[in-house]
């Protein structure tokens, strides 16, 4: 039997603790990847407006044969759609692309631009029942405290942040627990950087349970009650990453993994101004590239 565990969010909505993310999966591979993930047992699918594959996720949802209410779909609003009006409109566009009449969780993707206005829009969509839970992503302790104190009617249910053994986010999680916010992990494997899959500590812990380093990481997050979004386009790895509900790490294992933390992002620092500029340009660059690809395809067809 395929077992999956759930966490209960601060509005009583149940969210699968282990999910499948589609960042960096090309459009032409997304539908099959999501179908494979759902077939493996994943029920949480994590996409975003800036991944440009919501439509393909929607196609997989429509075809998978699993009842809608068993699935949990997350999307994220990109900063170009911040501000009240644009955010509201963009969530309707996401609903259309995903071909859904409600979204389980909508997050604000980054803590820049008019996130107060955008947050008001998703609060309203939540009250209207079009979104079952709302939250944020990449809101590190200062920003999450800001929105909780000054920018909201409803406390965010989830904050999705980078979280892996080398950047373990213990302090951020503690701060979120204070407000009743569930921590959700992106890049749980750090995309394999810094030898994550061959890390000696993780491999050695895994040997005791006949598990891989990847499985040890996921188990460590589950035992910390952190919701996981992990990505692979290989079905055998989807299965491997799902087989994490049949063993338990000891307190000693958990402490050994804790000792790996150096509290530094494997990717970028959200307080670095050049990164803020990069976020600003990223979607425009992707859009240009997509237009160029489309022109090239059309050229080949003529
Ligand atoms: N909110 C945000 O700002 C944000 C940012 C980044 C990501 N995310 C979300 O988090 C999800 C996961 O993050 P991520 O994709 O950046 O990184 P990740 O899940 O840490 O790593 C994905 C990489 O690990 C490889 N992999 C997966 N399972 C493996 C296994 N068992 N053994 C060996 N290699 C394995 C995959 O390769 P193959 O695909 O080749 O198998 C892929 O290269 C994303 O898809 C997205 O939904 C959110």
Q: Residue 102 burial by CB count (10 A; 0-12/13-18/19+): exposed, middle or buried?
A: middle
* Ligand 1 close to Cβ of residue 23 (< 6 A): yes
Annotated catalytic residue, options 42, 51, 82, 140: 51
Residue 302 within a domain: no
pLDDT of residue 145: 96
Residue 224 within a domain: yes
Mean pLDDT of 247-257: 98
CA pseudo-torsion sign 122, 147, 284, 287? negative
* Ligand 1 close to Cβ of residue 190 (< 6 A): yes
* Ligand 1 close to Cβ of residue 110 (< 6 A): no
> Cα(143)–Cα(166) distance, rounded to whole angstroms?
22
- Indicate the top mutation candidate among 16, 18, 21 to test ligand 1's pocket, ranked by most ligand atoms within 8 A of CB: 21
Residue 296 within a domain: no
Mean pLDDT across the chain: 95
Query: Residue 294 pLDDT more than 80?
Result: no
Mean pLDDT of 204-214: 98
Counted domains in the chain? 1
Given a contact cutoff of 8 angstroms between Cβ atoms, the answer to whether 144 and 158 are in contact is: no
Q: How confident is the model at residue 298 (pLDDT cuts 50, 70, 90)?
A: confident
Residue 217 within a domain: yes
| Ligand 1 atom 21, closest CA | 191
Task: Give 260-271 pLDDT, tens digit per residue.
Answer: 999 999 998 998
Residue 74 within a domain: yes
Query: Residue 40 pLDDT more than 90?
Result: yes
Is 51 considered catalytic here? Answer: yes
> Cα(75)–Cα(163) distance, rounded to whole angstroms?
19
To which H or E segment does residue 170 belong?
A: helix 170-179
Range of the domain at 158: 6-271
Task: Give 152-189 pLDDT, tens digit per residue.
Answer: 899 999 999 999 999 999 999 999 999 999 999 999 99
Q: How confident is the model at residue 289 (pLDDT cuts 50, 70, 90)?
A: confident
* Ligand 1 close to Cβ of residue 75 (< 6 A): no
Residue 64 within a domain: yes
Domain CATH for 199? 3.20.20.100
What is the DSSP track for 79-143?
GGG-SHHHHHHHHHHHHHHHT-S-EEEEEE--S-SSHHHHHHHHHHHHHTTSEEEEEEES--HHH
> Cα(285)–Cα(287) distance, rounded to whole angstroms?
5
Residue 300 within a domain: no
Residue 256 within a domain: yes
The neighbour count for residue 13, using CB atoms within 10 Å, is 17
């Amino acid at each position: 039997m395929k077992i999956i565990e759930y966490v209960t969010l601060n509005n009583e909505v149940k969210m699968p603790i282990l999910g499948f993310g589609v960042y960096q999966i090309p459009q032409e591979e997304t539908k099959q990847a999501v179908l494979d993930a759902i077939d493996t047992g994943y029920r949480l699918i994590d996409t975003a407006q800036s991944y440009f594959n919501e439509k393909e996720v929607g196609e997989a949802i429509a075809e998978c044969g699993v009842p809608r209410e068993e699935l949990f779909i997350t999307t994220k609003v990109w900063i170009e759609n911040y501000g009240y009006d644009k955010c509201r409109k963009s969530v309707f566009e996401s609903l259309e692309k995903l071909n859904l009449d409600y979204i389980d969780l909508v997050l604000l993707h980054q803590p820049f631009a008019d996130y107060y206005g955008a947050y008001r829009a998703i609060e309203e969509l939540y009250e209207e029942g079009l979104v079952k839970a709302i939250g944020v992503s990449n809101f590190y302790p200062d920003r999450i405290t800001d929105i909780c104190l000054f920018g909201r009617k409803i406390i965010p249910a989830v904050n999705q942040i980078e979280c892996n053994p080398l950047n373990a986010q213990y302090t951020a999680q503690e701060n979120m627990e204070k407000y009743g916010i569930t921590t959700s992990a992106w890049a749980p494997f750090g995309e394999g950087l810094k030898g994550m899959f061959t890390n000696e500590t993780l491999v050695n812990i895994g040997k005791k349970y006949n598990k891989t380093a990847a499985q040890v990481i996921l188990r460590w997050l589950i035992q910390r009650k952190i919701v996981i979004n992990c990505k692979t386009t290989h079905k055998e790895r989807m299965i491997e990453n799902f087989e994490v509900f049949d063993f338990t790490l000891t307190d000693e294992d958990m402490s050994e993994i804790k000792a790996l933390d150096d509290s530094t992002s494997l990717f970028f620092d959200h307080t670095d101004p050049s990164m803020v500029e990069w976020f600003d340009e990223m979607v425009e660059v992707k859009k240009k590239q997509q237009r160029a690809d489309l022109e090239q395809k059309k050229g080949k067809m003529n």
